Structure 1
Amino acid sequence: MSTPRWTGYARAQLLLSWRVFWRNRRSTFIGFLLPVLLTVAVAAPVRGREIGGVPAGAYVTVGFVGFALVTSFINLLNGLVARRDDLVLKRLRGTEVPPSAVLAGQFGAAGAVLLVQTVLLGALAVGWFDAPLPADPLLLLLALAAGFALFALLAAALSGLTPGAEAAPLVAMPVLLLSMFAGGVATPLASLPDWLQAPAHALPLSPVVETLRTAWFGRAFGTETWSGGPLPVLGTFATWPHALGALTLLAAWTAGSAVLTRRLFRWEPRHG
């Protein structure tokens, strides 16, 4: 199939998924409003404090940019399972629309929502919580794109294990809770109990959040605590070497999720 035709099919799927997202109040709340509301609720009380040499409110807000990936994962999981159970995916696969264009459209709509969230949370961080402008925008975009790819693939993989739409929240809840409380979103991982720090650093969201903060603030994040002093300021070309370990872990998670997606994703209902 020619590239223009594939692009046209993917664009049509993207626009359809975009409209469905905004018309569904539940998906709009979870996928768009929840990270913003939680940011305000969690970051506002620590406004005026510092962590690692940066404003604590801004530190938390950037963490919730990473958390938006998790809410995107939840909506993708719910959407894929619902479309599968309604036989939409099966019917689309029986047409001339390439399967890759179907998934690209679904993922593209979720990615567009994430970009809007990132701009909104970024404006909140700079305008209310005194964050500077991102020190390394390219690294920031890479972390965001790689994190989105990981959680999109993870949603596709876990949708294959989800028996039906009613079970999707039960599948998503452990990912949500682990990411919220052990992914470094609102509290530094170094402040967790010693026995929990290594597992928490290995979670898929942790390297994303760490890299987002390193890119935004230009500091060597990863070892900060609430009671510790300022972290070292990284030079222009030092943010990437510092983030290499987190990016490597992120790449490993993404590769594993891609393998699982290939093996587990289903186009037809599990019960039929």
Structure 2
Amino acid sequence: MTAATLSPLPSTLRTGLARGGAEVRMFFRAKEAVIFTFCFPAFVLLLLGSIFTESDPGAAAPMSQVFAAGMIAYGILSTAFTSVGVGIAADREDGTLKRLRGTPVTMASYFIGKIVLVAVATLAEVALLLAVGVFAFGLELPTDPGRWWTFAWILALSVIACTLLGISASSLARSSRSAAAVLNLPVIALQFSSGIFVAISTLPKAMLDIAAFFPVRWMGQGFRSVFLPDSMAAGEVAGSWEPGMTALVLGAWCVIGLVLCLTTFRWTERRTG
């Protein structure tokens, strides 16, 4: 058989989508992980929304609804950053990545597969969080198509940025056992400093200035702009929703995440080369 008659290898995108389908199937087979991934952000929302029931004087929405809108950012970060980072550390440790390296799955295809997994899982998780917000705390879903378009591009940029950062951060963990501890520390810190777990008006300026460099602050603000009345923008740091700045920061973190992935991703553990 000549080289001309050989079938060409699948494209990077096609291989990545196929890998994404396999990732989704493997994820949903691990029922305990699925339940924890989906239910934990909703559980935190129920706790915070039940504790902080009163709204600020003159506010158009109670704090429970503010938490319901912003908690979507935590759900994405938990799924895209923590779960992906821990999963890759485990795949690297048990040799899954090393075996994949001998297949048509390139590094780019592998990244695409992870983004597909996170996109599917995130949509299900967001649906659950919105259901809790609507039925438990009276959150009103927008009827303006423009707000849903804003929701779509913020969700897309958030998923891509957090997934790429999770892939790159997986290289920080020396084993799957340490990965959860290593990755959860920045996640928890950013939830508080970015105004996801607490009212952003109660945070010190220095903390807000630091959080402004990271995507979580802008994810939370962006989702609040979709589901809260426009008058609630006065409670944000700049007194407005800042959609342009949100797009700029999240887009920048997509680029940063990609660069970090390309420079730090490893198919094998350090000790095996």
Q: Report matched runs for 1:2-151 at 5 Å.
A: 6=12, 9-24=15-30, 27-47=33-53, 49=55, 52-72=59-79, 73-134=81-142, 135=144, 136-151=147-162
Name the % identity. 21
Unaligned stretches of 5+ in structure 2?
Answer: 1-6
Unaligned stretches of 5+ in structure 1?
Answer: 226-230, 233-238
The alignment status of 1:200 with 2:206, answered yes or no, reads no
- Partner amino acid, structure 2, of 1:146: L
Check whether the contact 1:190–1:197 (CA below 8 A) recurs between aligned residues.
no
CA RMSD of aligned residues (A): 2.6
Point out the structure with max Rg over C-alpha.
2
After TM superposition, the score normalised by the length of structure 2 is: 0.84
The secondary structure found in structure 1 opposite 2:33 is helix
Distance 2:215 2:74 in 1: 11
Distance 1:218 1:16 in 2: 40
Q: Compared with structure 1, are the counterparts of its residues 133 and 3 closer, same or farther at alpha carbon in structure 2 (3 Å cutoff)? A: farther
Check whether the contact 1:85–1:165 (CA below 8 A) recurs between aligned residues.
yes
Check whether the contact 2:60–2:232 (CA below 8 A) recurs between aligned residues.
no
After TM superposition, the score normalised by the length of structure 1 is: 0.84
1:171 matched residue in structure 2: 182
Question: Residues 43-66 of structure 1: CA distance to partner in whole angstroms, max 9, x if unpaired?
Answer: 123335358422321210111111
Check whether the contact 2:194–2:217 (CA below 8 A) recurs between aligned residues.
yes
Q: Compared with structure 1, are the counterparts of its residues 222 and 256 closer, same or farther at alpha carbon in structure 2 (3 Å cutoff)? A: farther
Check whether the contact 2:194–2:208 (CA below 8 A) recurs between aligned residues.
no
Aligned residues: 259
Q: Compared with structure 1, are the counterparts of its residues 32 and 196 closer, same or farther at alpha carbon in structure 2 (3 Å cutoff)? A: same
**Which of 235, 241, 251 is equivalent to 1:224?**
235
Single out whichever of 181-190 and 150-159 deviates more from structure 2: 181-190
Q: Compared with structure 1, are the counterparts of its residues 60 and 90 closer, same or farther at alpha carbon in structure 2 (3 Å cutoff)? A: same
Distance 2:93 2:115 in 1: 18
